[in-house]
A and B are shown apart, each in its own frame.
Chain A
Amino acid sequence: MKKTEKRTVALAAVFALTFGIAPAANAMHIMEGYLPVQYCVIWGILCVPFLAAGFFSIRRTINEHRKTMILLAMSGAFIFVISSLKIPSATGSCSHMTGTGLGALLFGPSAVSILGIIVLVFQAVLLAHGGLTTLGANTFSMAIAGPFVSYGVFRLLKKCRVNRRVSIFLAAALGDLFTYCVTSFQLAICYPSEAGGVGASLIKFLGVFAPTQIPLAVIEGLITVAVMIGLESYASPELKELRFIGEEK
């Protein structure tokens, strides 16, 4: 074999090994029963202020414009459906979007916290992604931390006048990566390593989930760009209507 051929085969082998092992690259929901009780409670409590803020902001908008209720419900259903559909993947494994970045860009981070926890309940009950006891931890990583990062990155890049597509891509991908880091951290503090403590454990979790989560973040970024571009060219009036949900008064 020539040198380039050898290299190609080696690369293909590495690729096949890393992706072949992971059976299903779901968004990284912590499964039911995987966290000890005290951590379930702690993460639940940490979510409360964000959820309360989201709840009050939603209630205020709904009291003023009753139509927002239907709009919010459609948006929640949209996030659920998008995250339950199989997305294209380069390797043929079955994977799903988290939809957090897209949600944050469309509806703003405060509305997404409430929609996110509802979507997570539905995902747990209807799809068995995640669980009831791990709801707090999953809400914190997917409906609070991820969307806030996405939104922050997007606003920041917009201010710096970065290309729009690039900023949408980075917002969605970084939000996804941050979710993955937070989930790894949540697992690491529950199960510190016997050799090296929480730090070593964090590195292990990050490493183990990296082969599925990093490509997923890239794909999610690409798809979010496609969706936003599609919306901006066909539906700018509707987009304005949505911005209005996310407005904090």
Chain B
Amino acid sequence: MIAIDKFCYTSRLRYVNASEKFALAVITLLICIAGQSFVISAAVLAVMGVLTVRKGGLPFSRYRKMLMWPLGFLILSTLAIMINVSRVPLDLFAVPLGGWYITGSAAGALRTARLIVTALAGVSCLYFLSLSTPMTDILTVLGYCRCPRLIIELMLLIYRFIFVLLDIASAMTTAQNARLGNKDFRTACHSFGQMASALLLRALKKSNALYDAMEARCYDGTIRVLKEDYPPKAREIAAIAVFEFILLILLAGRLTGWVM
């Protein structure tokens, strides 16, 4: 089971109009990375966090853990950006090492700190969208955005098949574990390979059977499903507009230099 998907179906924001949520997440995300500023990022992080936790009903401890997921990437690349190896020491710190220095500058540290908060705020926007809007609703919005029908159809099918295959894969992994298939590194590699090839085989068999079934029911290249419609509410649109307006003012402030 995919954790994010499970939470999103139980979110209290699930039945809010999907286009509203999509627009809020994407516009905020763009302003946030265009600004790269402490103030904008803090505002975005706070608003998105409150929306996901208070309005959406996700436990805060889960949310905090989820924000930690991309930490590995964040730590490593931040190290790479901040720390320099050079013959001349920079102003913030410098550790001499033979003829060289492991060194960093104050401007670099400030830039890196900005990058970290921006990235976290970006992740909070992404989480707001994915923890409140089921994939099928996102696909409907993509349809309004003139994404080719073929791609949307393909995504819909892939989304469905992911769960079918995950089920099969977890059953096979359990069977392998029960037979000591993961007892050491060598067997684990071998087992994973066997599991993956058996999985592909099963997937192909299933796809053949599925195609026959769909053909028998007059499949002509599109799957037609009933759309559930939740009309946008004026109050929500107004709130989103006010929030984005404030962010835009802050962005203008950042570009002219009076906001950090």
Contact = CB atoms under 8 A, between A and B. Distances in A.
Contacts of A42: none
Nearest to B220: A66
Interface residues of B, number: 88
Contacts of B191: 88
Contacts of A37: 30, 33-34
A223 B122 contact: no
B245 interface: no
B221 A66 contact: yes
Interface string A223-238: 1011111110011001
14 contacts: A32-B119, A34-B77, A36-B36, A59-B150, A69-B157, A73-B160, A74-B206, A77-B157, A85-B173, A125-B126, A128-B130, A195-B103, A208-B76, A223-B192
Contacts of B162: 77, 80-81, 122
Given A73-B161, A78-B203, A122-B135, 5 more contacts: A33-B119, A62-B150, A75-B203, A82-B199, A223-B193
Nearest 7 A/B pairs, CB to CB: A33-B122, A226-B193, A230-B197, A88-B188, A73-B157, A77-B161, A195-B86
Nearest to A93: B72
B77 A194 contact: no
Given A73-B157, A131-B126, A208-B80, A81 B199 contact: yes
B5 to A, nearest CB: 6
B207 interface: yes
A113 interface: no
Interface of B: 2, 4-5, 26, 29-30, 32-34, 36, 66, 69-77, 79-81, 83-86, 88, 90, 103, 105, 107-108, 115, 118-123, 125-127, 129-130, 135, 138, 148, 150-151, 153-155, 157-162, 164-166, 169, 173, 182, 185, 188-194, 196-201, 203-204, 206-207, 210-211, 214, 219, 221
Contacts of A58: 150
Given A33-B123, A85-B169, A121-B155, A127 B72 contact: no
A238 B34 CA distance: 48
B122 A133 contact: yes
A131 B182 CA distance: 32
Contacts of A26: 72-73
A204 interface: yes
B161 A205 contact: no
A153 interface: no
Given A36-B36, A55-B151, A126-B2, A205 B80 contact: yes
A22 B76 CA distance: 8
Contacts of B26: 132
Given A78-B200, A114-B151, A121-B155, A193 B214 contact: no
Nearest to B219: A66
A36 B33 contact: yes
Interface in A94-122: 102, 106, 114, 118-119, 121-122
A227 B221 contact: no
A241 B204 contact: yes
Contacts of A230: 193-194, 196-198
A29 B157 contact: no
A23 B26 CA distance: 29
Contacts of A31: 70, 73-74, 119, 122-123
Contacts of A187: 77, 80
